[in-house]
Amino acid sequence: MDFANFLIQTLNSLQYGLLLFLVASGLTLVFGIMGIINLAHGSFYMIGAYLAFVLTSATGSLVMAMVLGIPLALIFGAFLEWALFSHLYKRDHLEQVLLTYGLILIFEQLRSLLVGDDVHGVTIPDFLSASIPLTDVLSYPVYRLAISLVCIVLAVALYYLIRRTRLGMMIRAGNDDRGMVESLGINIDMIYRVVFALGVAMAALAGMLAAPISSVFPNMGSHVLIISFVIVVIGGIGSIWGALVAALIVGFADTFGKVLIPEVSGIVVYVVMAVVLLWRPEGILKKG
């Protein structure tokens, strides 16, 4: 592998890892802070991709689709938490698994009825459709760099929200001792609703960003869900920074595994997870 190809694969790894972080950070918020095992989280990624397809077709702009799609995802997430997930906090994990698996089936059937089972493409915005030349014959798409930049900005914003704002303080307090937070007069139910809606919106945004480079197709959330749980486990349950580190590790392992050892690339990520858990059973970073 020459330097230009190595650089391209490194950039691909960063972009893929940062995109996975968007999905996994939402999952680690819901799983680590609220204690909900949400198997339907990958479906929110799929919903985001299909929102990108439908809204881009209607408006002619992926940017406008995101402007419209993110508020819709937030509202949808808040509604789901109020209607379904708010009843699961004190329930057994088996009941959470059954409900969220049922949601996967419902979302897939609705997707089939509303949009069909064909594979769809989403057009990259014109101002991001160029490529940066690396050599005489190799170039790198500007859109992939834009995805990485958006993910970095959101990672910083999420850190600021959790660590530097009053809302973040209440989220962390509610995670540590829900009863004490309620006794102080804080509406912890509303805090949880905000956290869940934020997790749904981040997964949906990841699907919107990925739609132009991965296409939009049925069951596209299944693989992302599995990888996201791997990231949560590797990074440490409930740790946002752990999810970021783990997502980058998974991104590099998966991308370079497909290039260097394609015969066994499907298990590389899980080998990495096993090694990390043998080294640190609680994950790379503890909950924080």
CB neighbour list of residue 184: distance below 8 Å, 6 or more residues apart: none
Mean pLDDT of 198-209: 94
Rounded to 5 degrees, what are φ and ψ at 131? Answer: -130, 150
Q: Give the pLDDT band of residue 288 (cuts 50, 70, 90).
A: very low
At position 43, the amino acid (one-letter code) is: S
Helices marked H in the chain: 3-28, 34, 41-59, 62-83, 93-114, 142-164, 166-176, 178-183, 188-214, 221-235, 240-260, 265-279
Contact call for residues 284 and 242 (beta carbons, < 8 A): yes
In this predicted model, which residue has the larger pLDDT, 103 or 2? 103
Residues 27-77 have pLDDT tens digits of 888 887 777 888 999 999 999 999 999 999 999 999 999 999 999 999 999
DSSP secondary-structure letter at 264?
G
Ramachandran class of 215: left when φ > 0, alpha when ψ lies in -120 to 50, beta otherwise: left
Mean pLDDT score across all residues of the chain? 89
pLDDT in tens, 240-250: 888 999 999 99
In tens, the pLDDT along 248-258 reads 999 999 999 99
What's the pLDDT score for residue 286? 66
Residue 98 reports pLDDT greater than 50 = yes
Q: Is the pLDDT assigned to residue 265 strictly greater than 90?
A: no
